[in-house]
Amino acid sequence: MQYKRILLKLSGESLMGEQEFGISLKMLQHYAKQIQEIRNMGVEIAVVIGGGNIFRGLQGAAMEIDRAQGDYMGMLATVINSMALQSALEKIGVFTRLLTAIDMQEIAEPYIRRRAIRHVEKGRVVIFGAGTGSPYFTTDSAAALRANEINADVILKGTRVDGIYTADPEKDPSATKYDKISFDEVIEKGLKVMDMTAFTLCKENNVPIIVFDINDPSNLKKIIIGESVGTLVKN
């Protein structure tokens, strides 16, 4: 097994599936089954999921909502997605814990680093909701922060594309995929992997990132057993 403890970063938008808004049951089950499969292999798993299928902080600006207020609204959207994922996992027998950076004691435990580590050590899937708990930070930043805090071996960023390309493959058919690339090369070439805050945190603390296509149900398992899937970013 290549990775023992992972931080899985999921996009809120991909939870929409074919819909234009909200949560698709099909996508929720798709995520849950993949997580269950690698959990059964003995992998320790933490998850950060975005909220773009419900609300984005930047969306708020267009509605003339204060930026900080909009970001808090986005954080609450991530909690809704986290609760949905928790429910889907528990329905198929996976033990979970939801920890939030904003205190909401009726539905989740508060984020405490040592408690989070203890949960993953005990084999529970830990879902981190509400981002970092502070405005102006994305869920990418939350993923990078939590991965560092729980000493994850790697961040697995599940997306709609199968890795990092020289250009946007959806717009440029001549774009070629990188199998491996360094943090410095990503910065030099101006490639979009994560926002710069998240990216710098991973670079400085030597946490590799794998960008892969989450829609292929076999990819997550392949990464865990050490097969080359997606694009690996490391120092």
- In the chain, the domains with their CATH numbers are 5-234 (3.40.1160.10)
Contacts of the segment 138-141: beta carbons below 8 A, 24+ positions apart: 138/195, 138/197, 138/198, 139/9, 139/12, 139/48, 139/49, 139/50, 139/51, 139/78, 140/9, 140/194, 140/195, 140/197, 140/198, 140/199, 141/194, 141/195, 141/197, 141/198, 141/201
pLDDT tens readout for residues 91-139:
999 999 999 999 999 999 999 999 999 999 999 999 999 999 999 999 9
Radius of gyration of the chain (CA): 17
Contact at 8 Å (CB) between 161 and 214? no
Q: Which residue has the higher pLDDT, 73 or 59?
A: 73
* 122, 127, 138, 176 from 44: Cα distances, Å: 8, 12, 24, 33
* Confidence class for position 169, pLDDT limits 50, 70, 90: confident
- Position of tokens 């435990």? 109
CA distance 32 to 35: 5
Mapped onto helix, strand or coil, the DSSP state of residue 175 is coil
Residue 43 reports pLDDT greater than 90: yes
Mapped onto helix, strand or coil, the DSSP state of residue 38 is helix
pLDDT tens readout for residues 182-230:
999 999 998 988 999 999 999 999 999 999 999 999 999 999 999 999 9
**Largest CA-CA distance found in the chain, in angstroms, rounded:** 51
* Confidence class for position 171, pLDDT limits 50, 70, 90: confident
Q: Using a pLDDT cut of 70, give the percent of the chain over it.
A: 99
Instruction: Write down the pLDDT at residue 6.
Output: 98
Residue 57 reports pLDDT greater than 70: no
Q: What is the mean pLDDT of residues 30-54?
A: 97
Instruction: Write down the pLDDT at residue 63.
Output: 82
Q: Across all residues in the chain, what is the average pLDDT?
A: 94
Instruction: Write down the pLDDT at residue 173.
Output: 86
Encoding tokens for residue 41?
């292999």
Instruction: Point out which residues pair with 193 in neighbouring strands.
Output: none
